[in-house]
Amino acid sequence: MGKALIVYASRAGETKKIAELIGEGIRIHGAEASVANVSDIKKVEDLSGFDAYVFGSATYHGEMMQGMKTMLFLAEKTGLDGKVGGSFGAYGWSGEAPGRIFDTMKNVLKMDMVSGPLMLKSALLGGGIEMAQGYGKDIAKKLG
């Protein structure tokens, strides 16, 4: 059974909710999922040992949150080449963060990405629950 780590950066809790729903989707489809706040990921060992990684941040002032930027440098050190990856985030209008995270995971970390980042205005509105759980399903399916 594959193991996924979902790491979120969230100020008001929406991106955290999305992280939890993605985790549910992964578990429903037969893989293991752990969900962590980016502030708890401090060293290479905190990131090591998973088969899939799903990183998410809310967008503030056109950017991902600082904690996620710092963690992506740690992920580069950890070496996640070829691991399954996805990204997500809550946003208000422009939503730059999930796409930036996705591009970094693909181009710098050389991960095997599912199709596209998951961007939601709210975890609980407009089919957000199904979309987030569905994204978890895509991750679990890629794990095989």
List contacts with ligand FMN (CB under 6 A).
Answer: 10-15, 58-62, 90-95
Cα gap 139→116, rounded to integer Å = 12
**101 near 64, Cβ under 8 Å?**
yes
| Closer CB to ligand FMN, 6 or 31, in the complex | 6
| Closer CB to ligand FMN, 100 or 137, in the complex | 100
Minimum CB separation from ligand FMN for residue 15, in Å?
3
Q: Would you state the structure tokens that stand for residue 14, as one six-digit string?
A: 């929406």
Minimum CB separation from ligand FMN for residue 36, in Å?
15
Minimum CB separation from ligand FMN for residue 65, in Å?
8
| Closer CB to ligand FMN, 40 or 93, in the complex | 93
Strands (E), 17-127: 32-37, 52-57, 59-60, 63-64, 84-90, 112-113, 118-120
Which residue matches tokens 């992280």?
19
